[in-house]
Amino acid sequence: MSAAIGAVHYEGFYAGDLKREPSGRCIFAYDQAYLEAYRPDIAFTLPRSGEPYISENGLHPFFDNLVAEGWLRNAQARAIGTSPDDRFDLLLAFGHDCAGGVSVRTAAPGDPPNIDIGDPTAVAALTSRASLSGVQPKVLAVRDGKRFRPARRDETSRYIAKLPSGALRDIVENEFITTEATRAFLPDDRITKLEIASVDGIDGRALLVERFDRLGSGARIHFEEFNQLLGRRSGDDKYNARYDDMAEFILRTPGCTPVDAWRLYRRELVCFLTGNTDAHLKNFAMFHTSDGLRLTPAYDLVAAALYREYATVALALGEARNLTIDQIKPKHLVALGHAHGLGAHEILDAVSQLGARRKAAIKAAKAAAARAGAERLGDELVNFMEHRWNGSFASIGQFLSKKPSDAGANSI
């Protein structure tokens, strides 16, 4: 393994160097001028310091989570002639446009990646030198008039085009319908904006997701997924956690606000209502703001439970691990609320609000399904939501009425 070095930028400002030694040890060191200018930390787990951060076994978790996953990672590895496990080289070659405000570029430009690998979709994805999470095929896109096209290199992209996946039927339509149902359940929350459209040069319809980490001016807005905030590496670590862990992070971290724990709880409830069983640590995130960390809009909302292989909920609820969606009972949802700092009144209020919006969510799901030409899928989701409501949510009030008073519980 050879030594290598990359220049790390935060929202356009040079922040420091990321180095790999021949032993595989990785080191990040802030630039002195960046420190003297009192610019922000690039990551929650990498606060500004004059001392280097040393990771003995590969990339630090913050950087490790910036590396592409799945189909895109394999295409990137082919383009630069390396192993998909060579995460450092992949980040240096394709870290120009990462999620959030940080980018990583090689400090010693060499031969450019061979992006002409015979697959038009892969070529479109590789051209922008982007590093995107998730196993679903995707490319960066820009709106050109009324059409979308793949982003060119060094071009600011406001959209991620998520493409059909042969392994999961109707995944594009599924996320579109689930997101619109979630928007109806949580009308006062921020939900990612998206639409179904074609992308020039790419077969099939795509889900065009508007990026909440980019402004029209091209400015980058920094955020971190909870996998990064909790210091977990990419891969299966995103599943080795509890929903409680995210709530505890918000409640215990200076600069966070307890209201975000309440918002997070409501989003998790909707995940269980809509069958979004793959809601893992990389599917929840927080912005870096001048006032502290704040929840980003909700994103990656897919009724994964409609696919049989995704019946198990991604994260543990308290100490209950590997629950299938049908095994979630009122006791789990109430305990989850307590873990988010909520008392019985706040829990019941959150559930009652969802109940009051069921008709609106059903209407939104059916309307989205009609727009997507996937009425049968919309009916599946509606039936699933009604089944989950009657199976877990409808009896939460009765469950709480039988519990001893929890007046001592924390609440917002």
List pLDDT tens digits, range 339-394.
Answer: 999 999 999 999 999 999 999 999 999 999 999 999 999 999 999 999 999 999 99
b/e map 15-24, b = 16+ CB within 10 Å: bbbbbbeeee
User: What ranges do the domains of the chain cover?
Assistant: 4-167, 223-402
Whether the predicted pLDDT of 405 surpasses 80: no
| Chain Cα centroid distance, residue 338 | 24
Residue pLDDT, tens place only, 287-325:
999 999 999 999 999 999 999 899 999 999 999 999 999
Please choose, from the candidates 131, 286, 134, 154, the residue with its C-alpha nearest in 3D space to the C-alpha of residue 221: 286
Tell me which architecture the domain covering 223-402 has in CATH. Orthogonal Bundle (1.10)
Strands annotated E in 107-220: 130-131, 138-144, 147-150, 159-162, 194-199, 202-210
Residues with Cβ within 8 Å of residue 64, at least 6 apart in sequence: 58, 87, 233, 234
Residue-level pLDDT at 136: 85
Whether the predicted pLDDT of 408 surpasses 50: no
Task: Specify whether the CB–CB gap between 137 and 167 falls below 8 A.
Answer: no
Residue-level pLDDT at 121: 81
Strands annotated E in 76-137: 97-98, 102-106, 130-131
Whether the predicted pLDDT of 48 surpasses 50: yes
Residue pLDDT, tens place only, 160-216:
999 998 778 899 999 999 999 999 999 999 999 999 999 999 988 999 999 999 998
